[in-house]
Amino acid sequence: MAKMQMNGTRMLMGKYELGKLLGQGTFGKVYYAKNTKTGQVVAIKAIDKEKVLKVGMTEQIKREISVMRLVRHPNIVQLFEVMASKTKIYFVMECVKGGELFNKVAKGKLKEDAARKYFQQLISAVDFCHSRGVYHRDLKPENLLLDESGNLKVSDFGLSAVTQQLRQDGLLHTTCGTPAYVAPEVITRKGYDGAKADVWSCGVILFVLMAGYLPFHDPNLMVMYNKICKGEFKCPSWFSYDVRRLLNKLLDPNPKTRITIPQLMEVPWFRKNFKPVHFEIEDDDLVSSSFDEVSSEMSQNSSPDNTPVKKPASLNAFDIISFSRGFDLSRLFEEKNVAKSEKRFTSTQSFSNISSKLEEAAKLLNFNVKKTDCKIKMQGNKNGRKGNLVVATEIFEVTPSFFVVELRKACGDTIEYEKFCNQELKPALKDIVWVWQDDDQ
């Protein structure tokens, strides 16, 4: 809650000094702010809880938080922290000072090289989102911001979707987005591939950057939709042959033949002066929020891999009973359908074999590994593809020939964690697992 200080400044949660109002929307306001402890300048979006609940937007807000924490990339606006009071939800985000790309286009069309640079950065960000199973679904110049160095930052993931929202046909079915930028298959409501729909929107954006106006436009919405569905657009005379050819592939009304991002990245026009983004996510760069508590032990410095391993902790009778599903009381306190962050399996292998196999599996799955005694920390690889997911494991000894291994999500998105454990880690550990606790008996 923001409180007025003696000097007239407003403080939020005793940590952020609120400044001028940057913008205002239906559900809240965005303020310029400064972290009084670090001096870091941020933007804070204050969302009204009552309004969100009244219109049934709770799940959308949760999804936006989840998605923004999942897609941490130099060309995506970064979410630093989420806080909440009785009446507000606060998003503490990267402050992007260069304004909207839309404002630059509004002053006139861009030269080909400038448009290409922004388009390359846009595609880098969208490709990363897709690699994490996230589809933006509302890409447009108004949602593309510029930092002080003129680099593009994708924002506003309020309408985004994740892989888990796909129906049995493997497609998304929610009609959303901005009419002039939406793909034809979204309009027809027959189900669509989120990645292909985002590619179409990127094509519209490229056209707008270079032309200064929309490829599909008409005062009559139905007439405009008809043009979109037929892919009827005309390039202005100043477009080069290579740009025209690429736009025909991007704005192909048939999603099955529309160019994909991997194919796009091989196009010579796109590759000109293209600089692939390389970035790392360090331990102290992980997002903290009230929605996902990071274990304090994960913030401690881990010992080098060659530190002698101590004997694992022993379990007493109560520990063993509490591990059983019949004695699990957490369901009384958790919401339905919320996945538990802890997973356990038993093993009759030796401690050294279990430890070695966990380390081997983690590295095979492109995770960085840090070992401390009988604990192993798996962290998303520094190339960023695994995002901010951190999995903590600990081995407990029941008897000299029987062990329990506990895995816990220390940080990161729950959906990504569930996917990692169920689809990647379980198959990799099958040689040492006797039984997983959550397997059907």
Residue 323 domain boundaries: 283-436
Among the ranges 192-201, 253-262, 315-324, 426-435, which has the highest mean pLDDT value? 253-262
Residue 11 · residue 2 · CB < 8 Å: yes
pLDDT one-digit tens code per residue, 156-206: 876 666 554 555 555 555 555 678 899 999 888 778 888 999 999 999 999
Please indicate, yes or no, if residue 277 is contained in any of the structural domains.
no
Taking the C-alpha atoms of residue 222 and residue 419, their distance in angstroms, rounded to an integer, is 41
Tokens of 117: 């640079």
The helix (run of H) or strand (run of E) holding residue 358 is helix 351-364
Domain stop point among 24, 59, 94: 94
Q: How many structural domains are present in the chain?
A: 3
Please indicate, yes or no, if residue 329 is contained in any of the structural domains.
yes
Percent of the chain with pLDDT strictly greater than 90: 29
Domain stop point among 216, 237, 271: 271
Q: At residue 314, does pLDDT exceed 80?
A: no
From 48, 127, 138, 283, the catalytic residue: 138
Packed helices 194-211 and 112-131: angle between N→C axes, nearest 10 degrees: 170
When pLDDT is cut at 50, 70 and 90, the band that residue 4 belongs to is: low
Q: What pLDDT was estimated at residue 326?
A: 39
Mean pLDDT of the chain: 78
- The stretch 316-338 carries a mean pLDDT of 40
- The stretch 363-378 carries a mean pLDDT of 83
Do 208 and 81 share a structural domain?
no
Tokens of 127: 């490709």
Q: What is the pTM of this model?
A: 0.62
Q: What is the CATH number of the domain that holds 21?
A: 3.30.200.20
Please indicate, yes or no, if residue 278 is contained in any of the structural domains.
no
Which segment of 200-204, 217-221, 291-295, 385-389 scores lowest on mean pLDDT? Answer: 291-295
Instruction: Assess whether 138 carries a catalytic annotation.
Output: yes
Do 287 and 383 share a structural domain?
yes
pLDDT one-digit tens code per residue, 240-261: 999 999 999 999 999 999 999 9
Q: How far is CA 411 from CA 164, 290, 337, 382, 408, in A?
A: 19, 12, 20, 15, 9
Higher-confidence residue of 13 and 246: namely 246
Q: What pLDDT was estimated at residue 282?
A: 45
Taking the C-alpha atoms of residue 293 and residue 410, their distance in angstroms, rounded to an integer, is 7
Do 182 and 138 share a structural domain?
yes
Do 303 and 190 share a structural domain?
no
pLDDT one-digit tens code per residue, 62-114: 777 777 777 888 999 988 888 888 888 899 999 998 888 888 888 889 999 99
pLDDT one-digit tens code per residue, 208-232: 999 999 999 888 888 999 999 999 9
